Amino acid sequence: MSTPGTHDELDVLVIGAGFSGLYQLYRLRKLGYSVKIFEAAPDLGGVWYWNCYPGARCDTYGPLYQFSMEELWQDWDFDELYPSWDKIREYFHYVDGKLELSKHICFNTRVSDASFNEDTCRWNVNAESGHTASAKFMVMCTGIGSKPYRPDIPGLADFKGRLLHTAQWPQEGIDLGDQRIGVIGTGATGVQVAQETAPIAAHLTVFQRTPNMALPMRQQQLDDAAKAALKENLPEKYAKRARTLAGYDFDYQDYAGESAEIYSSEQVQEVFEKLWTEGGFVPWLGNFADMYTSEKTNRAAYDFWRDKVRERITDPCLQEKLAPTEPPHPYGVKRISLEQSYYEIFNQDNVDLVDLKETPIERITGPGVLTTDGQTHELDVLILATGFDMVTGGLTAIDIRGTDGVSLREKWSAGVSAYLGTMTHGFPNMLFVYGPQAPAGLSNGPSSSELHGDEIIEALEHLRTHGMSRIESTAEADRRWRDRIDDYAAETLFGQANSWYMSANIPGKKAQMINYPIGIPDYLEQWAIAKASGFDGFDLR
């Protein structure tokens, strides 16, 4: 717990107590660093503390959504293949009990500002609680989704019912039974909350701008035999994460191949069917590698998805709105969601879909949502499933100032540049894990937390071993890294969608690929090249 007036002198201050922050604390503490975490929430879990809305659950299957240390996984099991938010919280408490991490975590300690002192070569950090710290290194583990986005819809303050954002859900929960519920947004959170509330709502209205190309989750309840089966060869599965594009235990090479164009259309359909039966992210990340570069392959994948989804929707008009004949954007270049009953809810009499492309929201009124056709959709509860200022938002929300006094927010106003997705010039000794221009949002979170986290720890150990105390990326290295990402993205279909992958969900934000799209194996290879060249791209002192 944070105490006003407390000051810490540290080797490393970690910001954030999700997977990345806890991993840094665990590893650095074992190596003898004085290290603490500042965490804004009153408990562990990062995104899994704040996101407790109805239906919130992980879309990575349980064994791959945890730390890879055997001392942890050998005694832990989830009861479902895809665990819910409350079970993931239980997992964090289990980890804490095993590793005794909380004693080095300051909860309720939201960082307000940080500045680098060139004379002392240390970061001076202030929290809203009055807790302060001075640290040689500041490791930012704020995650990709820590700053909720509330769109500027006219009249939000006029709504007389209950207004909620999925990422700011009351911890005590809410009884939504027999309520008239509106959900704005059909991203992952919108899909989850809609399918969860549809069976209990008096009426549910889903406001859709762009249909979600969601995939079947294939959820399972796990008995003892199933839990034991999931642990078979688990160390090998964890080791494989470094060799797959997105840090999972499968890849396109396991299911499909490099290109669909070398197969007949019948063979391609057979592959799609196999992937669909497997479910989860397999039809997305286990598909043909050229799905993101070949319009022909991508369109074939979309058509297969569309036809599968339409089989589950009875109304032809809703079929066209939820799974259009022509794709609204290439398949898979926006964040794919997993669903269990999402499409079936639109067969219910108490569920309506409002197509915001046809009838946009004009404003929020006291009774509900007024659309441009003059209709007011009357609601008791309005839920904003409008996502986050992804990847950079948690960083730029803090007033971080480097060597020239310019804030990180100001520096990145014209676009992000962060060498190896780890540092940005002008901000010495500040390192990001699972952050901008790293695999981050295009990878499995725990995998990146460990694989990227290990690289940062190795860099700190290199400094300590060689008697150095300062590391900073060069401006040229930042530029090269950004160009590498931009050039690669330009050869793909990602730019054809207004997605948060391309920073397109926040008004005024510079459009660019915000993650590292080339994959984890290449990302680790770039680290290896830099280290073999004496940490090329970094200024070490």
As given in the structure block, the two tokens for residue 13 are: 């201050």
Average pLDDT over residues 93-118: 98
Average pLDDT over residues 110-122: 97
pLDDT at 366: 98
Q: Is 497 helix (H, G, I), strand (E, B) or coil?
A: coil
Domain locations in the chain? Answer: 7-147+389-533, 156-223+230-384
pLDDT at 1: 59
Residue 492 DSSP class: S
Place 77 in a pLDDT band, splitting at 50, 70 and 90: very high
Q: Report yes or no: 166 and 53 within 8 Å, Cβ to Cβ.
A: yes
As given in the structure block, the two tokens for residue 201 are: 């709502």
Q: Report yes or no: 327 and 302 within 8 Å, Cβ to Cβ.
A: yes
Place 502 in a pLDDT band, splitting at 50, 70 and 90: very high
pLDDT at 4: 74
Does residue 435 have a pLDDT over 70?
yes
> In DSSP terms, which residues pair with 84 in a beta bridge?
57
Determine the CATH number of domain 7-147+389-533.
Answer: 3.50.50.60
Average pLDDT over residues 201-229: 98
Q: What are the distances in angstroms from CA 484 to CA 389, 432, 448, 479, 488? A: 23, 19, 20, 9, 6
Q: What residues contact 266, with CB distance under 8 A and at least 6 apart? A: none
Backbone angles phi, psi at 263, to 5 degrees: -110, 160
Q: DSSP letters of 168-202?
A: G--TT----TT-EEEEE--SHHHHHHHHHHTTT-S
Place 292 in a pLDDT band, splitting at 50, 70 and 90: very high
Average pLDDT over residues 269-285: 97
Does residue 305 have a pLDDT over 80?
yes
Q: What is the chain's mean pLDDT, rounded?
A: 97
CA distance 387 to 455: 29
Does residue 3 have a pLDDT over 80?
no
Does residue 466 have a pLDDT over 90?
yes
Average pLDDT over residues 336-344: 97
pLDDT at 147: 96
Q: To the nearest whole percent, how much of the chain has pLDDT over 70?
A: 100
Indicate the pTM of the whole model.
0.97
CA angle 31, 419, 337 (to 5 degrees): 90
Nearest CA-CA partner of 69 in 45, 32, 94, 46: 94
Average pLDDT over residues 482-492: 98
One-letter amino acid at 483 equals D
Q: What is the pLDDT of residues 310-324, one digit of tens each?
A: 999 999 999 999 999
Average pLDDT over residues 472-498: 97
Q: DSSP letters of 513-524?
A: --S-TT-HHHHH
As a dihedral over the C-alpha atoms of residue 509, residue 447, residue 334, residue 497, rounded to 10 degrees, the angle is: 50
pLDDT at 2: 64
Place 5 in a pLDDT band, splitting at 50, 70 and 90: confident
Q: Report yes or no: 356 and 207 within 8 Å, Cβ to Cβ.
A: yes
Q: What is the pLDDT of residues 224-276, one digit of tens each?
A: 999 999 999 999 999 999 999 999 999 999 999 899 999 999 999 999 999 99
